[in-house]
């Protein structure tokens, strides 16, 4: 059934495709374009710091024709802000999660596509819309955001110090990107846990897949937190609230500046692991392939990934040692942070163990993987300096930090991205990239990356602050200015080097040597299908007999056992486990639609955790708080609560009928639920209007801000719930709807109950307490 | 010369902490890289050389893992934590008593508003002495600076003392330092605060107590009272 290549129009096949392989390539192209753009900004940044207020060589005249190629003081912050924001969210994340995740995950676990192909396509287009906003933001009056990608408040949140639309567009672009990432996460998690090929145990999945899965878990948990914070920033800017503004700038009292930093780094620290995890996984797999040895301590490696993920959620305070927080809290954050060195050390041990007594082939992807090991060793170890509280107070916000996180984020990730592209190119496009050019590209990139970022840390130790446009303004920085000049030149060379890659990529796309299905002698199941794979990946659904790393075994003149080899158990000497073939579905009691819905609901829960948590912190920190019952119409809101609870009941009945296949009854109850939901919204709007008239406005008091923000967000969720149910109601007019889609109705039901539950909580904490 | 000149009484604790961390991480790094290089040469693919088939799930590998975890945890983590604790106690953990100089600073985009208490020793009074970007302190005397930002977050950074402290709107933060050497030094803003962040530079003059008092007197003669900011010491607003 699957090997029939359906005839599709060009647009359906290459633009609005639901094929994960096409979508992956779309992500890759967008990501590489932004990587180039971000790299160009890095060059401009470095040249400005090297020779302040001099025309930027080569591209200055093109970028800034009005000023004769000179970077103006108001442009410099835009450059480093958008460089950081673009690199993290629009270059590296799309490449590593979007492209690497999308391309490798279904193929490597032997699935025919993602669990939700349409959602997958939409994820890409959300990213695309986000990218458009980011690009547009450069051209609005007063230009792009210039607050630093960290968007610290009140610099970002007060219109008085930051008018213009740059920050708003940046936040909206990030929000669209976040939607894209979360929808992607729903897909990766569901696909991984429910759609592995028959026989593939969890412990037989490649490390790359594990990396993508853990990254998705972290995104699902923590991305909504920063989304909540960014919406509050937007509200501070455009709706007159002051959640994160205090002091003379604040329109109303009670806002907390540091709350934003807690929320931001609550996500921001896990984010660095989100970015690096897929690279770790990839490197783990590639070291095994090219050492011709099984991945050493596979389970320990996965365990370390899990431990690091868990720890990453509780160390955010190490970014805030100088913010004025309690030193004891700082000590706790410091200690938690440095304990991450333990699982990281085990990780390295396993990498070295994989190489030990191997038969190492120095292919281009292998060189880049080894490069990742080298630079990540530096990045990880320099992290210790930043974690030591007393020392970090000195090096915080200097180039030590910039150098450190570029070793982990930029150097490791850049080399990892290249390892990914060189290794997977043959599978993606059916042609091989030129190895000689690849090696030259590696050597030069490796040298320049290290020269730039190591020097960066050195000037940082001398006290060189980050984010300053002109270091020559300071006397104490004079002795290291020549190093800024040096870094400028090296960055130029680094950027130039990437043209080798660009040329190799384009040339190989059209003229590269034709690749067979398995150009690397790799054992994973994906290397048994054609290059590029057919529309649904495998002509017949594969069956898995062993893990992905069975190298170093004599087998018919080859030195590995493919995952699909039925004699694998015999060849590898594994104890015969055939009596219990894994179904490839870890959650048999939860259908695919519901699994996806739960993953989505967890991020929704985290979004409301961010919002409700902020409310609690703001309220506890306030000198006085009004009595809600004197302001709000508690009776009316109580009635509204009752209405919403009723709508949950009618939906339960509807789902019941859906299971029984009774479509008419289903539609009746759906309609009833929609009506009740609409009634809730109607009363809500009436209530808003009434209170607003009586002077209880959003910008008038902190309570008003919290009330409208929380209930407003909830109202939007009700509205989207109603739209989903309207859709189901229309669709249920179709015959045979129930038999095919009852699981979808159930999943939507879950969402509606969740919305109702949130309202009950909001009602309790806003109106009653 | 890695660091800028240290003119403080306790800044060497920070430098020592750095050198300790540098030593520990260098050992770890060199170990990893030497082993890596050895493996790459020794186990390179060549005719006649075969890879060993092992998943590394042996008791030996397990033992090595536990050993490594312990070494890292005790040798690096605990070690650093203890030294950090001592350094902290010697620097931020020590509150100066007795004869200290108190200063209030309210940074704004893009300048440092500096306030001395004046003759009455009280802040937020008419005789306060105000300067902009110009901080004078006596040598060998502890100074406590209290910070509160007027607009966005700034960070008061003294590279020659190895200290910095954010100034946040809506809350008062503070830091303490003592100079042991006279001269002119930089005050830098370390937190991005807008397009003029790079030029938000202050000048620190460390001088003999007599010179300092003279300077203060001269300043107080040309003083125009500014009651738009300043707070009673220890309270903030
Ligand atoms: C290609 C070589 C790169 C160079 C030479 C470079 C250079 C720089 C420089 C000089 C800054 C500091 C700007 C400042 O504080 O004044 C910076 C900031 C940053 N870079 Fe890069 N970068 C490179 C690649 C990357 C990559 C691949 C990433 C991917 C994650 C990245 C992420 C960031 C982030 C997050 C910031 C912080 C931005 C901020 O301070 O707001 N960079 N980069
Ligand atoms: Cu962090
Ligand atoms: Cu500043």
pLDDT of A731 reads: 86
How high is the mean pLDDT of chain B? 94
Tens digits of residue pLDDT in A614-666: 999 999 999 889 998 888 888 999 999 999 999 999 999 998 888 888 888 88
Q: What is the pLDDT of residues A210-254, one digit of tens each?
A: 999 999 999 999 999 999 999 999 999 999 999 999 999 999 999
Q: Is B203 helix (H, G, I), strand (E, B) or coil?
A: strand
Q: Is residue A711 part of a domain?
A: yes
Least confident residue range of A206-215, A711-720, B29-38, B225-234: B225-234
Q: Tell me, yes or no, if A252 comes closer than 8 A to chain B by beta carbon.
A: no
Mutation test of ligand 1: which of A83, A404, A445 has the most ligand atoms closer than 8 Å to its C-beta? A83
pLDDT at A623 (0 to 100)? 86
The distance from CA A266 to its chain's CA centroid, rounded to whole angstroms, is: 14
Query: Which H/E stretch holds residue B138?
Result: strand B134-138
pLDDT tier for residue B236 given thresholds of 50, 70 and 90: low
Helix (H, G, I), strand (E, B) or coil at A160: coil
Q: What is the largest CA-CA distance in chain A?
A: 85
Q: Is residue A723 part of a domain?
A: yes
Query: pLDDT value at position B109?
Result: 95
pTM reported for the whole predicted model: 0.95
Tell me the C-alpha distance between B5 and A378, whole Å.
27
Instruction: Provide the 3-class DSSP secondary structure of residue A368.
Output: helix
Give the pLDDT confidence of B143-174 residue by residue, as tens digits. Answer: 999 999 999 999 999 999 999 999 999 999 99
What pLDDT does B206 receive? 98
Above 50 in pLDDT, residue A1? no
Confidence tier at A572 by pLDDT (50, 70, 90): confident
- According to the model, what pLDDT value does residue A43 have? 97
CB contact at 8 A, A618 and A706: yes
**Above 60 in pLDDT, residue A153?**
yes
pLDDT at A4: 43
Pick among A388, A450, A466, A547 to test the B interface (most B CBs inside 10 A)? A388
Domains in chain B with CATH codes: 11-93 (no CATH), 101-221 (2.60.40.420)
A44 found inside a domain:
no
Contact A350, A301 (CB under 8 A): yes
Element (H, E) at B163: strand B163-167
Residue A577 reports pLDDT greater than 60: no
Residue A469 in tokens: 């446009």
| Domain membership flag for residue A707 | yes
**What pLDDT is stored for residue A380 in this prediction?**
95
Is the beta carbon of A452 within 6 A of some atom in ligand 1? yes
Q: Which atom of ligand 1 is nearest to the CA of A409?
A: 30
**A190 assigned to some structural domain:** no
Beta pairing partners, A398: A465
Instruction: Burial-class residue A119 by CB neighbours within 10 Å (0-12, 13-18, 19+).
Output: middle
pLDDT digit string (tens) for B158-216? 999 999 999 999 999 999 999 999 999 999 999 999 999 999 999 999 999 999 999 99
* Predicted local distance difference test score (pLDDT) of residue A2: 42
- ipTM of this complex: 0.96
Residue A671 and residue A732 in contact, taking contact as beta carbons nearer than 8 Å: no
Q: CB-based contacts of A612: which residues, under 8 Å, 6+ apart?
A: A710, A761, A762, A765
Cβ–ligand 1 contact at A78 (below 6 Å): no
Inside any domain, residue A686: yes
A589-593, B26-30, B68-72: least confident range:
A589-593
pLDDT tens digits for range A119-129: 999 999 999 99
Q: Could you tell me what percent of chain A has a pLDDT over 90?
A: 87
Structural domain of A764: 625-768
- Look at residue A578 and tell me whether its pLDDT is greater than 70: no
Residue A691 lies in a domain: yes
Number of domains within chain A: 1
Mean model confidence pLDDT for chain A: 94
CA angle B166, B169, B170 (to 5 degrees): 120
- CATH code for the domain in which residue A758 is found: 1.20.120.80
Expressed in angstroms and rounded, the spacing between residue A269 Cα and the centre of ligand 2 is 4
Domain membership flag for residue A668: yes
Mean pLDDT of A358-365: 97
In whole angstroms, give the CA distance from residue B130 to residue B118.
9
- Residue B4 vs residues A374, A456, B1, B84, B201: alpha-carbon distances, Å: 29, 16, 7, 21, 17
pLDDT, tens digit, 9 for 90 and up, residues A477-510 = 999 999 999 999 999 999 999 999 999 999 999 9
Mutate to test the pocket of ligand 1, among A37, A49, A406, A454 (most ligand atoms within 8 A of CB): A406
Q: What is the mean pLDDT of residues A30-43?
A: 97
pLDDT above 60: residue A114:
yes
Q: Among the atoms of ligand 1, which is closest to the Cα of residue A495? A: 1
């Amino acid at each position: 059934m699957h090997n029939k290549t359906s005839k599709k129009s060009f647009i359906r096949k290459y633009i609005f495709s639901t094929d994960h392989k096409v979508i992956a390539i779309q992500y890759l192209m967008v990501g590489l374009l932004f990587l180039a753009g971000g790299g160009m900004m890095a060059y401009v940044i470095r040249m400005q710091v090297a020779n302040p207020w001099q025309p930027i060589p080569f591209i200055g005249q093109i970028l800034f024709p009005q000023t004769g190629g000179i970077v103006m003081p108001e442009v410099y912050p835009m450059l480093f802000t958008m460089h950081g924001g673009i690199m993290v969210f629009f270059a590296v994340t799309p490449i590593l999660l979007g492209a690497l995740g999308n391309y490798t995950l279904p193929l490597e676990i032997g699935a025919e596509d993602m669990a939700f192909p349409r959602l997958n396509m939409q994820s890409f287009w959300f990213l695309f819309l986000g990218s458009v906003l980011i690009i547009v933001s450069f051209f609005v009056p007063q230009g792009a955001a210039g607050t630093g990608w960290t968007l610290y408040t009140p610099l970002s949140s007060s219109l008085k110090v930051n008018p213009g639309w740059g920050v708003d567009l940046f936040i909206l672009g990030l929000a669209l990107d976040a939607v894209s990432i979360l929808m992607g996460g729903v897909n990766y998690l569901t696909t991984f846990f429910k759609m592995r090929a028959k026989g593939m145990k969890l412990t037989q999945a490649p490390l790359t897949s594990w990396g993508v899965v853990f990254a998705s878990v972290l995104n699902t948990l923590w991305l909504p937190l920063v989304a909540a914070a960014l919406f509050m920033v937007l509200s501070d800017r455009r709706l007159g609230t002051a959640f994160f503004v205090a002091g003379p700038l604040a329109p109303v009292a009670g806002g907390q500046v540091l709350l934003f930093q807690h929320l931001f780094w609550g996500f921001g620290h896990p984010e660095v692991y989100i970015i690096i995890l897929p690279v770790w996984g990839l490197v783990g797999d590639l070291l095994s392939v090219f050492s011709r040895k099984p991945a050493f301590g596979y389970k320990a490696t996965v365990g370390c990934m899990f431990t690091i993920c868990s720890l990453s959620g509780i160390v955010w305070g190490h970014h805030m040692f100088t913010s004025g927080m309690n030193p004891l809290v700082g000590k706790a954050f410091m200690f938690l942070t440095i304990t991450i060195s333990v699982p990281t050390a085990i990780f390295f041990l396993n990498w070295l163990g994989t190489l030990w007594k191997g038969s190492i082939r120095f292919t281009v992807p292998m060189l880049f993987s080894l490069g990742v090991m080298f630079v990540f060793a530096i990045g990880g170890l320099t992290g210790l300096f930043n974690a030591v509280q007393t020392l970090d107070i000195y090096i915080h916000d200097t180039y030590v930090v910039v150098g450190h996180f570029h070793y982990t984020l930029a150097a490791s990730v850049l080399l990892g991205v290249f390892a990914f592209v060189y290794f997977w190119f043959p599978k993606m496009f059916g042609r091989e990239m030129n190895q000689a050019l690849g090696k030259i590209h590696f050597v030069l990139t490796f040298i320049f990356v290290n020269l730039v970022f190591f020097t960066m840390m050195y000037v940082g130790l001398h006290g060189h602050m980050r984010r300053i446009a002109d270091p020559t303004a300071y006397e104490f920085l004079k002795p290291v200015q020549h190093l800024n000049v040096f870094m400028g030149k090296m960055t130029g060379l680094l950027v130039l080097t990437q043209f080798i890659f660009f040329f190799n990529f384009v040339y190989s796309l059209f003229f590269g040597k034709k690749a067979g299905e398995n150009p690397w002698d790799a054992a994973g199941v994906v290397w048994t299908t054609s290059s590029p794979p057919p529309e649904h990946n495998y002509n017949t659904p594969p069956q898995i007999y062993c893990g992905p790393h069975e190298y170093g075994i004599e087998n018919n003149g080859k030195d590995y056992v493919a995952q699909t080899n039925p004699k694998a158990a015999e060849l590898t000497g594994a104890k015969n486990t055939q009596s219990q073939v894994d179904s490839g579905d870890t959650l048999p009691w939860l259908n695919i639609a519901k699994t996806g819905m739960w993953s989505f609901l967890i991020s929704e829960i985290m979004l409301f955790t961010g919002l409700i948590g902020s409310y609690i912190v703001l309220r506890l920190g306030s000198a006085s708080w009004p009595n809600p019952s004197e302001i709000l119409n508690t009776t009316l809101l109580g009635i509204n609560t009752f209405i919403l609870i009723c709508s949950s009941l009618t939906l339960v009945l509807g789902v019941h009928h859906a299971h029984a296949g009774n479509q008419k009854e289903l539609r009746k109850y759906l309609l009833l639920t929609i009506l009740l939901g609409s009634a809730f919204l109607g009363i809500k709007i009436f209530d808003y209007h009434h209170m607003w008239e009586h002077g209880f406005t959003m910008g008038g008091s902190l309570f008003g801000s919290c009330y409208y923000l929380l209930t407003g967000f909830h109202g939007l969720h009700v509205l989207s719930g109603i739209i989903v149910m309207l859709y189901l109601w229309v669709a249920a007019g179709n015959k045979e709807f129930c038999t095919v889609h009852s699981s979808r109705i159930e999943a939507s039901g879950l969402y509606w109950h969740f919305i109702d539950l949130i309202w009950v909580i909001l009602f309790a904490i806003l109106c009653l307490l | 010369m890695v660091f800028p000149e240290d003119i403080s009484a306790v800044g060497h604790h920070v430098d020592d902490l750095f050198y300790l961390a540098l030593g520990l991480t260098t050992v770890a790094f060199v170990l990893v890289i030497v082993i890596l290089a050895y493996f790459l040469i020794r186990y390179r693919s060549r005719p006649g050389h075969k890879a060993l088939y092992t998943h590394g799930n042996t008791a030996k590998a397990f033992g090595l893992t536990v050993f490594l975890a312990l070494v890292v945890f005790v040798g690096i983590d605990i070690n650093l934590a203890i030294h950090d604790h001592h350094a902290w106690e010697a620097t931020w953990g020590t509150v100066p008593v007795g004869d200290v100089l108190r200063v209030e600073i309210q940074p704004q985009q893009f300048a440092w508003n500096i306030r001395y208490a004046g003759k009455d020793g009280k802040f937020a009074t008419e005789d306060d002495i105000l300067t902009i970007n110009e901080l004078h302190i006596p040598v060998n005397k502890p100074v406590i600076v209290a910070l509160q930002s007027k607009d966005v977050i700034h960070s008061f950074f003294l590279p020659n003392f190895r200290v910095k402290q954010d100034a946040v709107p809506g809350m008062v933060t503070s830091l303490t330092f003592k100079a042991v050497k006279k001269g002119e030094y930089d005050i830098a803003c370390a937190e991005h605060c807008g397009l003029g962040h790079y030029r938000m530079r202050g000048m620190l003059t460390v001088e003999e107590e007599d010179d300092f008092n003279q300077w203060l007197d001269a300043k107080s003669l040309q003083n125009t009272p500014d009651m738009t900011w300043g707070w009673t010491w220890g309270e903030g607003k």
